[in-house]
Chain A
Amino acid sequence: MRQIKVFKSLVRDSLDTITRGSKKYHLWMAALTFMMLVGMYCYSIQLKEGLSVTGMTDRVSWGLYISNFTFLVGVAAAAVMLVMPTYVLKDIDFKQAVLIGEGVAVAALVMCLAFVIADMGGPSVLWHMIPGIGVFNFPNSMLTWDVLVLNGYLFLNITIPFYILFRHYQGKESKKSVYIPGAFLSVFWAVAIHLVTAFLYQGLQARPFWNNALLGPRFLASAFAAGPALIILVLAVIRTYTSFKIENKTIKKIAMVVTVAAQINLIMLISELFKEFYAPTHHSESAYYLFFGLHGKDALLPWIWTAIPLNVLATVMLTFHKLRNNFKVLYFACFILFIAIWIEKGFGLIVPGFIPGPYGKIAEYMPTGIEIGVTLGIWALGAFVFTILAKTAIGIEIGKLRYKK
């Protein structure tokens, strides 16, 4: 009974905090709300007209939505790079960052689920997929595995921080015996969500571009680079605008994680490129299309040739200690790395899988305005969710929010 009372008070206090703030904060939230509304309007058009309002066709049947979904699973998985050192290796430096990291994971997962729903042809019959009520094709379909691991990870990433914050809210220390098992589990779970998402593509013999043993490991490497890079940027913003203390040491440590992951990612990229272009086979056509264009069709060239230089530049910058330890350079490097991997693991991965088609037909894909509107709306939703979570968490952590008996 008491717990419920505390919870009620927490919700009230949290509502109080998130509706109050500086002018900049209100502007930020208003902008996000506006983008979400635009996204909802675009989605309503899509619901009415069908997916024909997107750029997708029978030839390229997955596009911007699934690209973003794939990328964001990686961002969500990256929270583990903060959870592991903090809870499992008992590295105290990450303690402040980890709640933020888990907040990023929750926001990323919310976006993932939103993107999947946006991509569905029949959202009104989605209950067919709920185990117990519908028919769940487990374990045959990797998509059902993905549904399980994503929701499980979402659950873990909500409950662990919630428990810790709930205790702190009451002025108590959180009990290690309660959250450590969950933290351990979430470490393995994070690897699982990204590996399972890679298997979704990797398991299709129809698409040689995806049917490649390196896809899963490369997903992990790129995720552990892009996710923490985003977290560094978020921490930088939080450091500037709130009184939440994040030490330089913490950011430097996360930067180290980003660096190693980016280096491994680059090695794997080289390995992939070597395999595709040293002795090109019929199966290398998708890679040719992506990097050089095929038969004069070259819609993806500007994208990938933005991504690769940015990726290399960021990795090089991060590799040198002097550059990495300069925070201005670090933030810039993290930003361009994030963009590079977003292109590479989104657009650059999903679209060429369909081009050329099973019989060599090259039909290009270009997202429509409505598709982009929905996508921006979902990103705004993610930012909105994250802001709310982070504001409450920071309030509790700096002691501003406390339960009053």
Chain B
Amino acid sequence: MSSNNKKWFSLNIGRKNQETSSSCSCGKQSGGCGGHNHEETDKIEERKNGFEQVFDVKMDRRSAFKQLAASLAIGAGAVSTSCSMFSGDESKEKAQIDWEEQFKGNYKLMTDEEKQATVDRLVRSYQLRTGKTINMSAKNAEENVLFGYAFNISKCQGYMDCVSACVEENNQDRNSQMQYIRIHEMKDGNGFNFSEADDNYYHEVPAEGHFYMGTQCFHCDNPPCVNVCPVQATWREDDGLVVVDYDWCVGCRYCMAACPYDGRRFNWSKPEVPEEEINKNQHYLGNRLRKKGVMEKCTFCVQRSRAGKNPACVEACPTGARIFGNLLDPNSTIRWVLENKKVFRLKEDLGTEPKFWYFMD
């Protein structure tokens, strides 16, 4: 992992070598680990400098194009930053990170090192901007894991604790009150009549003569949203989670039109979370802070589920209506539910194969 075989493109815009030198044993790409010196990397940097560093990089046609486009696009900005007499190393590092982030590839196609590198850059960038440290993971799907979810309609009382837990856990925009989960309040005796249900109620629950049913992203096994994305910014991971690369999304909202379950949300304006409410335990594909103009959605709390925990909604539910687990583990609760309850899924006729089942006691 020396700078010679980095797979992303980096432009040295005149700051000192130690900032550009690549990762150390602690895995951090840029600065901050403090546990080693930079002598060795400095030597390499000395031999390769200026012109060579930018142009003497092995590249295929793809990255050559990328660099060309990149240079044209923000060359001017980079020049002004590097020529500035007043900007310190920090602002140059910031510029370097922004540059690399703007022109990085699709997360889905990255190698593990590249994934780690972008996560490290994001952590460092947050540190530079706010002075605070976050913890971001790039953990991949584990083998023999396929996540599934079951919802007990008899138990849900409409308390919406899941909704608030979800918002807090996943750093959703507070201004627009974005919520991944919708709880539909339905009248007894009408069956599952969604068109007469209310998903935006403000009264004491459980309301007399009503029952409740929650919807969110169902993480379909055959997700229509993934097919339609023109840039593969959303895909199905090996453990069944349907995720979005927020940095790769172009914001065309075609996936939103394609989703039959109202599972996707768009950042119509810059999402804002008060600094003290930010959940600093993040995953690249999960609850890291988003920007405006990109899609997001429920990820079954990838930052929790891949760490062996239940999603926040499951943990928060006071009635135990929500069950989450590994469908490939024969001893899991979710498997017990699927085998012993009369389960059903919504809009099965569409062939989307949701991994979200409903059942009643």
Contacts and interface: CB of A to CB of B under 8 A. Distances in A.
B109 A135 contact: yes
Contact of B195 (A125, A134, A201, A285): A285
A147 B230 contact: yes
B260 A205 contact: yes
Contacts of A269: none
Describe A's contact surface by its main secondary structure.
loop
Contact of B250 (A61, A129, A204, A360): A129
A50 B317 CA distance: 34
Contact of B267 (A50, A54, A147): A50
Interface in B262-281: 262, 264-270
A26 interface: no
B252 A120 contact: yes
Contact of B268 (A56, A134, A206): A56
A354 interface: yes
A364 to B, nearest CB: 15
B194 interface: yes
Nearest to A56: B268
Nearest to A141: B230
Contact of A141 (B105, B229, B261): B229
B243 to A, nearest CB: 15
Contacts of B295: 121
A121 B266 contact: yes
Given A135-B109, A136-B231, A147-B230, A61 B66 contact: no
A356 B182 CA distance: 16
Interface string A134-151: 111100111110010000
Given A62-B257, A204-B224, A120 B251 contact: yes
A128 B233 contact: yes
Contacts of B260: 205-206, 358
A296 interface: no
Given A61-B266, A121-B249, A134 B293 contact: no
Interface string A55-91: 0111001100000000000000000000000000000
B269 A49 contact: yes
B257 A61 contact: yes
Given A121-B267, A135-B232, A360-B197, A143 B254 contact: yes
B228 A120 contact: no
Nearest to A147: B230
A357 interface: yes
A1 interface: no
Contact of B259 (A127, A203, A206): A206
Contact of A52 (B65, B109, B256, B269): B269
A405 interface: no
Contact of B230 (A58, A129, A353): A129
Interface residues of B, number: 56
Nearest to B105: A135
A194 interface: no
A52 B258 CA distance: 21
Given A121-B266, A121-B267, A136 B230 contact: yes
A203 B254 CA distance: 11
In this complex, the member of B215, B233, B252 whose beta carbon has the largest number of chain A beta carbons within 10 angstroms is B252
Interface residues on A, range: 35 or more
Nearest to B259: A206
B195 A360 contact: yes
A361 to B, nearest CB: 6
B294 interface: yes
Interface string B229-259: 1111100000000000001111111101111
Given A61-B266, A205-B260, A205-B351, A143 B252 contact: yes
A122 interface: yes
In this complex, the member of A49, A50, A121 whose beta carbon has the largest number of chain B beta carbons within 10 angstroms is A121
A126 interface: yes
B194 A359 contact: yes
A50 B257 contact: no
A61 B258 CA distance: 11
B17 interface: no
A237 interface: no
In this complex, the member of B199, B266, B294 whose beta carbon has the largest number of chain A beta carbons within 10 angstroms is B266
A58 B231 contact: no
B251 to A, nearest CB: 2
Contacts of B352: 205
A116 B254 CA distance: 12
B294 A121 contact: yes
A339 to B, nearest CB: 26
A204 B231 CA distance: 18
Nearest to A295: B195
Given A52-B268, A120-B293, A125-B250, A358 B227 contact: no
Contacts of B62: 132-133
Given A61-B253, A143-B228, A50 B248 contact: no
Contacts of A56: 268
Interface of A: 49-52, 54, 56-58, 61-62, 116, 119-122, 124-129, 132-137, 140-144, 147, 200-201, 203-207, 285, 353-354, 356-361
7 contacts: A57-B268, A122-B249, A135-B248, A143-B254, A206-B224, A356-B195, A359-B184
Given A49-B269, A121-B294, 7 more contacts: A56-B268, A119-B252, A121-B252, A122-B249, A125-B249, A134-B106, A360-B195
